[in-house]
Structure 1
Amino acid sequence: MRMLAIETSSLVASVAVVEDDLLLADFVLQHPMTHSQKLMPMLENALTYLGLTIPDFDAIAVTIGPGSFTGLRIGVSAAKGLAQPFGIGVVPVSSLRATAYNAYDSRRIVAVMMDARRNEYYAGAWKFEAEGLATVVEEAAWPVDDFAARLLEAALQAGTEVLLMGEGAAKAYERVHAILGDRVTLAPQEMRCQRAASVAMCARLEGIQAVDYDKVPMNYLRRPEAEVTREQRLKG
């Protein structure tokens, strides 16, 4: 199966192309340009280098959240727009869960954190087991101390350490370390950022089913901040 993967849940924009278990292209760009400026040029370059066109793909995997509301909408809209004319299925993937695959087969608990603002983090934790990726702490918008407490409980129970990943990991590390101490390690930046190659890996190894372009779900975990602000203004 030939798959195109798109990741736009954070500041990083990423595009990957895989064929079965072979990674053909992996573009990652961390730059303050908007995803609307970055994504399509990256995609066009990947296809040009490989001599491929969109009809050559069997599926398009895309992260559906949580993360930046604007970034997610750009990525999902791009996936839908590319898939619709050619009847290609879209594979919806959790941005947090996909990032855990950056540390594939790690013996540690892999915790992924993204800054959700309002003193919260979109976060979840997993552990690679023989039967696959097992959830240790469920995905949610967590206050950092609450998430760290759950990680400590899980680490003590499993008798292992925690690897902290995701674009919010560095910001949260001091508080997490205060609770877990030496049981937690901050992954190197190159390893902890979101990337499309891991989105494709998650989709393939977990056998996530593709859906029609108009049935792609979103996984925001909480309402967009703009909607909450608008509602508060209306209430006066």
Structure 2
Amino acid sequence: MKILGIDTSTRFCSLGLIEEDSVLIEYTLNNSKKKHSSILIPTIKDMLERINLTLPDIDGIAVSLGPGSFTGLRVGLGVAKGLSYACSLPLLGIPTLDALAFSLKEIPYLICPILEAKRDEIYDVVFRGGNKLSKVLDYKCEDIYNLVVRVSLLKEKVIFLSESIKKYQDIIKEKMGKDALFINPQVLLSKGVNIAFLGLEKLKKGKGDDIFTLSPFYLRKSEAEINWEKKSDK
């Protein structure tokens, strides 16, 4: 089966097309100066043309649900829903943090993917690797200090991975020492492919999502909601 994976959760727009355990094509674009909405459809079209495929040749569309950029997530999910509806393809929602950890799933350590949130907070989760990912600590939005305290209590080696890992490395090392391991951020650029592989696993289990009810997994309130609540409390 062929699955298209779409990730727009960060400034990198990552797309991947797989067939079973093979990667057919992948694109990763640093989208810091352009909106995902302006490049997503043309890039998908270009990908398919390069390998002589059309959308009806695909068996499913997997998309990152978040957490991540609120706007980016809405754009990615909107495009995925539109393509799914137009071509009657299964829609497969995948948590972004799962996709980050997927590349390391064979490693028998604890794996902690991190995404930056706003207000000096991060999104995180902890998995145990080894053939497949099993969740040890649930998804959370918190500050890095709180994460380090929680993870250090596990008293195991933990692989931390993040596009911003250099920002947090010293804080983590100070508390965890040699139990903290770090991965080169370049590993994280294939999220579209990982989204596709996780989508394939989900499709084979018959767990497609409802196009009308699937929504982003924000994990925290938007800035607008936070500001509105502050005004309401006054």
Is TM more than 0.5 here? yes
Alignment of 1:51-70 (within 5 A): 51-70=52-71
Whole-Å Cα distance in 2 between the matches of residues 80 and 49 of structure 1? 23
Per the normalisation by structure 2, the TM-score is 0.91
Match of 2:95 in 1: 94
Distance 1:2 1:230, change over 3 A: same
Q: Return 198-207 or 85-94, whichever deviates more.
A: 198-207
- Residue 170 (structure 1) shift: 3.0
RMSD: 1.8
Conserved 8 A contact 2:14-2:189: no
Matched positions, count: 231
- Residue 11 (structure 1) shift: 1.1
Q: Return 164-173 or 176-185, whichever deviates more.
A: 164-173
Whole-Å Cα distance in 2 between the matches of residues 5 and 221 of structure 1? 21
1:170 counterpart = 2:170: no
Q: CA offsets per residue over residues 14-66 of structure 1, 9 Å max, x none?
A: 11111112110111112312212332232121111011111211110001111
- Residue 215 (structure 1) shift: 2.3
- Residue 208 (structure 1) shift: 7.0
Q: Return 32-41 or 60-69, whichever deviates more.
A: 32-41
Alignment of 1:44-193 (within 5 A): 44-130=45-131, 132-154=132-154, 156=155, 159=156, 161-193=157-189
Which runs of structure 1 show a deviation greater than 3 angstroms over 4 or more consecutive aligned residues? 205-208, 233-236
Any stretches of 5+ residues in structure 1 without a counterpart?
Answer: none
Any stretches of 5+ residues in structure 2 without a counterpart?
Answer: none
Match of 1:226 in 2: 224
Per the normalisation by structure 1, the TM-score is 0.90
- Residue 100 (structure 1) shift: 0.2
Letter in 2 for 1:222: R
Letter in 2 for 1:232: K
Q: CA offsets per residue over residues 77-97 of structure 1, 9 Å max, x none?
A: 010111112221110100001
Match of 2:19 in 1: 19
